[in-house]
Structure 1
Amino acid sequence: MAAAPGPVHEALAGLALVDHHCHGAVTADLAPGEFAALLTEGAAWPGMSPFDTPAGVAVRRHCAPLLDLPRHAPPDDYTARRTELGWREVNRRFLTAAGAAAFFVDTGYTTHPLTSPAELAAAGGASAREVVRLEQVAEAVAARGVAAQEYAEVFRAAAEEAVRGPGVVAVKSVAAYRTGFALDPVRPPAREVTRAAGAWLAVGGRLSDPVLVRHLLWTAVDLGLPLQLHTGFGDADLRLHHADPALLTDWLRLTSGTIPVLLLHCWPYHRQAAYLAAVFEQVYLDVGLALHHTGPARCRAVLEEALEITPFRKLLYSSDAYGVAEFHHLGALCFRRGLADLLQERVDADELSLPDALRVAAWTGADNARRLYGQPAPEPARDPSERPARKV
Structure 2
Amino acid sequence: MGAVREALDALPLVDHHCHGVVGGELSREYFEELITEGGSWPGISSFDSPVGVAVRRHCGPLLDLPRHAPPAEYLARRAELGAREVNRRFLAASGTGVFCVDTGYAPDRLTTPAELADAAGGTAYEVVRLENVAEAVAAAGVEPDAYGDAFRAAVQRAVARPGVVGVKSVAAYRTGFDLDPARPSPAEVTAAAHAWSARGGRLDDPVLVRHLLWTAVDLGLPLQLHTGFGDNDIRMHRADPTHLTDWLHLTGGAIPVLLLHCWPYQRQAAYLAAVFEQVYLDVGLTLHHVGPARARAILEEALEITPFRKLLYSSDAYGVAEFYHLGALAFRRGLGDLLQDRVAADELGLPDALRIAEWAGAHNALRVYGLPGPS
TM-score interval, normalised by the smaller of the two chains? over 0.9
Residue identity matched to 1:83: A
Where do 1:284-363 residues align within 5 Å? Answer: 284-363=280-359
The secondary structure found in structure 2 opposite 1:146 is coil
CA offset digits 1:93-137 (Å, max 9, x no partner): 000000011110000001221001001111111100000000000
CA offset digits 1:61-113 (Å, max 9, x no partner): 00000001000010000011111111100100000000011110000001221
Work out whether 1:192 is the aligned partner of 2:188. Answer: yes
**In structure 2, what is the equivalent of residue 387 of structure 1?**
none
Where do 1:128-143 residues align within 5 Å? Answer: 128-143=124-139
**In structure 2, what is the equivalent of residue 384 of structure 1?**
none
CA offset digits 1:135-156 (Å, max 9, x no partner): 0000000000111110000000
Match of 2:38 among 42, 63, 67: 42
Please tell me whether the aligned partners of residues 256 and 280 of structure 1 are also in contact (alpha carbons under 8 angstroms): no
Please report how far the alpha carbon of residue 43 of structure 1 lies from its aligned counterpart in structure 2 after TM superposition.
2.2
> What CA distance in whole angstroms lies between the structure 2 residues aligned with 1:11 and 1:85?
31
**In structure 2, what is the equivalent of residue 33 of structure 1?**
29
Work out whether 1:179 is the aligned partner of 2:178. Answer: no
Report the TM-score, using the length of structure 1 for normalisation. Answer: 0.95
The secondary structure found in structure 1 opposite 2:131 is helix
> What CA distance in whole angstroms lies between the structure 1 residues aligned with 2:333 and 2:362?
15
Larger CA deviation: 108-117 vs 18-27: 108-117
> What CA distance in whole angstroms lies between the structure 2 residues aligned with 1:257 and 1:93?
40
Please report how far the alpha carbon of residue 205 of structure 1 lies from its aligned counterpart in structure 2 after TM superposition.
1.2
Work out whether 1:246 is the aligned partner of 2:246. Answer: no
Please report how far the alpha carbon of residue 27 of structure 1 lies from its aligned counterpart in structure 2 after TM superposition.
1.0
> What CA distance in whole angstroms lies between the structure 2 residues aligned with 1:116 and 1:345?
39
> What CA distance in whole angstroms lies between the structure 2 residues aligned with 1:262 and 1:316?
9
Residue identity matched to 1:116: T
CA offset digits 1:208-256 (Å, max 9, x no partner): 0000000000000001100000000000111111100000000000012
> What CA distance in whole angstroms lies between the structure 2 residues aligned with 1:354 and 1:172?
36
**In structure 2, what is the equivalent of residue 233 of structure 1?**
229
The secondary structure found in structure 1 opposite 2:197 is helix
> What CA distance in whole angstroms lies between the structure 2 residues aligned with 1:60 and 1:88?
19
> What CA distance in whole angstroms lies between the structure 1 residues aligned with 2:147 and 2:373?
40
**In structure 1, what is the equivalent of residue 276 of structure 2?**
280
Instruction: List structure 1 runs of 4+ shifted beyond 6 angstroms.
Output: none
Where structure 1 has 5 or more consecutive residues not aligned to the other structure, the ranges are: 380-392
> What CA distance in whole angstroms lies between the structure 2 residues aligned with 1:345 and 1:240?
33
Please tell me whether the aligned partners of residues 256 and 281 of structure 1 are also in contact (alpha carbons under 8 angstroms): no
Please tell me whether the aligned partners of residues 317 and 365 of structure 1 are also in contact (alpha carbons under 8 angstroms): yes
Please tell me whether the aligned partners of residues 165 and 369 of structure 2 are also in contact (alpha carbons under 8 angstroms): yes
Where structure 2 has 5 or more consecutive residues not aligned to the other structure, the ranges are: none
Work out whether 1:125 is the aligned partner of 2:126. Answer: no
Work out whether 1:203 is the aligned partner of 2:202. Answer: no
**In structure 2, what is the equivalent of residue 383 of structure 1?**
none
The count of corresponding residues between Structure 1 and Structure 2 is 375
Larger CA deviation: 170-179 vs 112-121: 112-121
Report the TM-score, using the length of structure 2 for normalisation. Answer: 0.99
> What CA distance in whole angstroms lies between the structure 2 residues aligned with 1:201 and 1:155?
14
> What CA distance in whole angstroms lies between the structure 2 residues aligned with 1:349 and 1:307?
17
Q: Percent identity?
A: 74
Work out whether 1:87 is the aligned partner of 2:83. Answer: yes
Larger CA deviation: 197-206 vs 55-64: 197-206
Please tell me whether the aligned partners of residues 286 and 317 of structure 1 are also in contact (alpha carbons under 8 angstroms): yes
> What CA distance in whole angstroms lies between the structure 2 residues aligned with 1:324 and 1:257?
36
> What CA distance in whole angstroms lies between the structure 2 residues aligned with 1:264 and 1:124?
23
Please report how far the alpha carbon of residue 196 of structure 1 lies from its aligned counterpart in structure 2 after TM superposition.
0.3
> What CA distance in whole angstroms lies between the structure 2 residues aligned with 1:156 and 1:75?
48
Where do 1:26-175 residues align within 5 Å? Answer: 26-175=22-171
> What CA distance in whole angstroms lies between the structure 2 residues aligned with 1:192 and 1:298?
46
Residue identity matched to 1:223: L
